[in-house]
Structure 1
Amino acid sequence: MRSVARTAGRAAVALLGATALTMGLASSASAATVNRTITDGGSTYNLSLTAPSTAAASGTNVTVSGSGYNPSQGVYVGLCAVPAGVNVNNPATWNSKPTPCLGGQDQAGTTGASHWVNSTWWWLSPNNSSPYTESGGRGSFSVSIHVKAQLSSTITCGQGGVTCAIVTRADHYDSNDRKYDVYVPVAFS
């Protein structure tokens, strides 16, 4: 009995290790990090957003992580079309709200296409929300979202001039604040 449990335990550890290695190799090969420094309320925040730069057009779950965020400002993490006039390589042009986004704001958490990160009201939407991990007055997160090339019945990333990115943007309590916009461009295959 003991050797069966030990063998099962070793098999589980081996499977977890192989899965972690495979996932690490798959995500690290196509991950990109974008950094942005902002000032909000007299404090400087060094935002960092890491997300895959490529994804399957048919849809896949991806892990997105961020650090350096203001834990008093909630953000949405999702896949959005890059607005006209926005150059993802130039934060000075990030003056328009990233939209439309796959699944919209998804406050009910029904699509899995976005995630709401905030330290105050996250418990109101437990299906797609979580608090920041806070350290030294800065917030970080690691969340999973579902992305696919087709944002809507008429908008598809990579078609008709539509460029898409995995983004953070200020949540619905401050949706016109562009300081927390960070873009990681994503291509679909």
Structure 2
Amino acid sequence: MKKKLWISVIAIAACVVIGFVAAVLIPILTHQNGGASGYTETTAEGARLVAKGDDGRTRTLEARDSSGELLDVTRIRPGEKIVVRGSGYNPDIGIYVSFCRIPEAEGAKFTPCLGEVPASEEEAEAQNSEGGEGSSAWITNDFVWRVFATGQFQPDGSFEAHLIIPESSGNGVDCRKEQCGLVTRADHTASGDRIQDMAIPLQFTE
């Protein structure tokens, strides 16, 4: 009897593990790229960007300082707290919000980045707690990953993230010498998809 019980427990555990792995891998392996977001550096007007993508969505991205005014993109100061808001995004595709180098090649991935996404559930919870802003955010509605994320999309594809501007250099990029920006890009579940790419060019002060 005990042997049969253990076999049943092991079988159930195996099914749970297989189900979890399938829930993680299937969306990644079956994802189809949505095309381009319509973003170019010239579409940004200061700290606000509007672009219509190949998927028909009109995305907006903006950054405001602690007083609620649009961020002065010509004088970016490390340590300053900002609020990032977006709308029109596809809520089925998670995004990273960070400060990254904007490559010269059109359609290339925004990388490397100054900020890192939370590496664990504990880090995500700390960043979400009062006063726990970080230099990047992870927005996703995926039920497998959202427990680790720093925020979620609203049904209409809007989101809000509270960030702290990081130091101007690190991770192989110096934003005083290279063009960097406040960017959004698809997360690791659709890393090759450029449909959620948006970037507000920034000028870091010395």
Provide TM-score, normalisation by structure 1.
0.66
CA displacement at 1:39 relative to structure 2: 3.0
Unaligned runs of 5+ in 1: 1-29, 86-92
Q: Which residue of 1 aligns with 2:138?
A: 116
For residues 112 and 73 of structure 1, do their structure 2 counterparts lie closer, same or farther at Cα, with a shift above 3 Å needed?
same
Q: 1:148 to 1:54 in 2, by over 3 A?
A: farther
- How far 1:54 sits from its partner (Å)? 4.4
2:173 alignment partner in structure 1: 155
Could you report, residue by residue, the CA deviation over 1:105-142 in whole angstroms, capped at 9, with x for unpaired residues? 4443478121111112453215xx211112xxx21011
The answer to whether structure 1 residue 102 and structure 2 residue 114 are counterparts is yes
1:39 partner SS: coil
Q: Take 1:31 and 1:61, find their aligned partners in 2: how far apart are those partners?
A: 17
Deviation of residue 155 (structure 1)? Answer: 2.6
- What whole-Å deviation, never above 9, does each CA across 1:3-49 have from its counterpart, x for those lacking one? xxxxxxxxxxxxxxxxxxxxxxxxxxx96211111133xxx211100
Q: Which residue identity does 2:115 align to in structure 1?
A: G
The CA deviation at 1:153 is 6.3
RMSD of Structure 2 on Structure 1 (CA): 2.3
Q: 2:49 aligns with which of 27, 34, 51?
A: 34
Q: Could you tell me the percent identity over the aligned residues?
A: 32
Deviates more, 1:95-104 or 1:145-154: 145-154
Structure 2: segments with no counterpart, 5+ residues: 1-44, 64-70, 128-132
Q: Secondary structure at the match of 1:139?
A: coil
Mark the structure with the bigger radius of gyration. Answer: 2
DSSP 3-state at the match of 1:124: coil
Q: Report the TM-score when normalising by structure 2.
A: 0.61
Structure 1 residue aligned with 2:198:
182
User: Which residue number corresponds to residue 97 of structure 2?
Assistant: 77
What residue number does 2:42 align with? none
Structure with higher strand content = 1
User: Aligned partners of 1:156 and 1:132: how far apart in 2?
Assistant: 31
C-alpha distance in 2, partners of 1:76/1:131?
Answer: 11
Kindly tell me the number of residue pairs found equivalent between the two proteins: 142
Instruction: Check conservation: 1:149, 1:188, Cα contact below 8 A.
Output: no
Structure 1 segments of 4+ aligned residues over 4 angstroms from their partners: none
Shift of residue 97 of structure 1? 0.6
Mapped partners of 1:101, 1:153: distance in 2: 7
